[in-house]
Amino acid sequence: MAYPFYPLKERYVNLLTDFGFKRVFGTEPNKGLLVDFLNTLLPPYHKIQALSYKSSENVGNTPLDRKAIFDIYCQGENGDRFIVEIQKAKQNYFKDRSVFYASFPIQEQALIGEWNFKLAPVYSIGVLDFVFDDHKNESTIIHTVELKDQHCNVFYEKLKFIYIELPKFNKTIEELESHQDKWLYLFRHLPELEDQPQPFQDPIFLQLFDIAEIANFSRNEQTVYQNSLKYYRDMTNVVNTSRMDGVKEGLNRGRAEGRAEGRAAGARSLLNRMLTRTVGDLTADLQAKVNELSPDQVEVLGEALLDFSSVDDLLEWLNGQVEWPNE
């Protein structure tokens, strides 16, 4: 479906859209930008000097095998493989998908005939516009995952997963310290910029601003970008709406539970007064048992105690030895 064309107010493209990400990082004339960004994430011994793009579509070994379609798939001049993807929203089994995708660059290295199984390193890099549930209470923004043994020693250093949780990056322009900080800032805030701030005067970032300036797009590119931006915003709205619905549901449930607990507390308080008048003061152990009763049990005991004459009757009821009438 085609959407009507309207000029955009933003000066620069959003790097988290599919179009923006691939325009800046996924084309041959701009691969220096990808090299620069990746080198902020890689260990020194795997720094990239040059790379080439490979097909972003990988198929299995047989027609029945599933295929993988990557955002960007490239190879360093030393043979290292890199899968680079953006992910807007959480999805079930995202980590499983990452492992599945990483298996393709591994399998494609197999040679026909005699082969000693030596593999080139494979990196799977995810730029995430969300935070993993099990990382919510951590401040770490970039997670590097490796295959390790039971002593936490790296067993195999040629397979790494690097995840960037962008929502955790909250530095202002004045707080940027490293080259990596600058890249993460642009991933989050490039569309908000109206000029080229002082921290971004390096040649690599000046190139980025030129490539990312929407005014330099052709009419067709602007239309494609608007469609990509619409999808991104729709997805953002869906995620935010889902989050707000969850908050509202939690508040409503909390209020309902609070009212129920309030009623239960009131019933338990009344029950304790009735028990004291009927059988006398209760021991701490007996009081604890009464306080553990569910709201339904409190209601049944409230009717049953009308037939009590001593603490022994209460003990028998609590032990389930006597079925007192509910009438």
Long-range contacts formed by 177-186: CB under 8 A, 24+ apart: 178/40, 179/36, 179/40, 180/40, 180/41, 183/36, 183/37, 183/40, 184/141, 186/15
Under 8 Å between Cβ of 51 and 28: no
* Res 63: pLDDT: 43
* Res 287: pLDDT: 81
* Res 240: pLDDT: 59
Under 8 Å between Cβ of 19 and 13: yes
Lowest mean per-residue pLDDT among 179-183, 195-199, 233-237, 315-319: 233-237
Structure token digits, residue 314: 């209460």
Residue position matching structure tokens 């179009």: 19
What is the C-alpha to C-alpha distance for residues 78 and 47, in angstroms, rounded to an integer? 10
**208 vs 247, more confident:** 208
Global confidence as pTM: 0.67
* Res 326: pLDDT: 47
Under 8 Å between Cβ of 176 and 201: no
* Res 224: pLDDT: 87
Structure token digits, residue 48: 């990239």
Alpha carbon separation from 75 to 50, 208, 284 (Å, rounded) = 9, 21, 72
**54 vs 186, more confident:** 186
What is the C-alpha to C-alpha distance for residues 156 and 309, in angstroms, rounded to an integer? 74
Question: Which neighbouring-strand residues pair with 125?
Answer: 84, 162
* DSSP code, position 72: E
pLDDT band per the 50, 70, 90 thresholds, residue 70: confident
Model pLDDT for residues 16-44, shown as the tens digit of each residue: 988 899 989 998 889 999 999 999 999 88
The SS3 assignment for 307 reads: helix
Under 8 Å between Cβ of 97 and 66: no
**320 vs 289, more confident:** 289
